[in-house]
Amino acid sequence: MKKGFFALALMTVVLIMLALAGCGGSKTYQPQAINEDVDVCVVCNMQVKDDAFATQIVLKDGKSLKFDDIGCMNEWKRKNHTSQIGMDFVRDYNDKEWVEFKKATYVYDASIRTPMAYGIVSFKDKASAEAFLAEQGVGQIMSAEELANHTWKQSKEMMEMPGHMEHGEGHGEAQGEGHGS
């Protein structure tokens, strides 16, 4: 009888601990899927494509903000309270998997074509970024911390190419695709 009571008491304690751990722990923020039919960039109002350039901020209240280019996401962060951010995400250039902004590795060069001509692509690991750099023959590898000191200028040459528009000039289909030049 004592063994049964002890086992029941131990099981009850374990269940209570699991329940408490589930209630009080840190909140997990997850990116939402991109819906090209309705998702537009919060900054420039361009269509957000389900591609390697899409980025996303999930606010602490659960609302998801989507961007067509990492530069637009940076612009939003610069103009708004970052204390609202639960988690920010970028996409791996190769397989489009969502990656936490601070964990990704970046390649920058003004000649790299991105939707809003910021010239930054993201990768889930440094090896992938190095492979891209070797293939393209241009660029520099940057961490999320290094992006904090980046100039965030749009490439005027890239903006003048077909498929690019200034922020707020239109919607949707005029985004450039592809990379490198």
What single-letter DSSP state applies at residue 32? P
On whether the CB atoms of residues 136 and 179 are closer than 8 A, the answer is: yes
Helix (H, G, I), strand (E, B) or coil at 58: strand
On whether the CB atoms of residues 144 and 106 are closer than 8 A, the answer is: yes
Q: What is the per-residue pLDDT across 128-179, written as a single tens digit (0 to 9) for each? A: 999 999 999 999 999 999 998 898 888 876 655 555 444 333 333 333 334 3
Tell me the residue length of the chain: 181
Task: Give the separation between CA 72 and CA 68, rounded to whole angstroms.
Answer: 7
pTM surpassing 0.85? no
Q: What is the per-residue pLDDT across 35-86, written as a single tens digit (0 to 9) for each? A: 999 999 999 999 999 999 999 999 999 999 999 999 999 999 999 988 999 9
Helix (H, G, I), strand (E, B) or coil at 100: strand
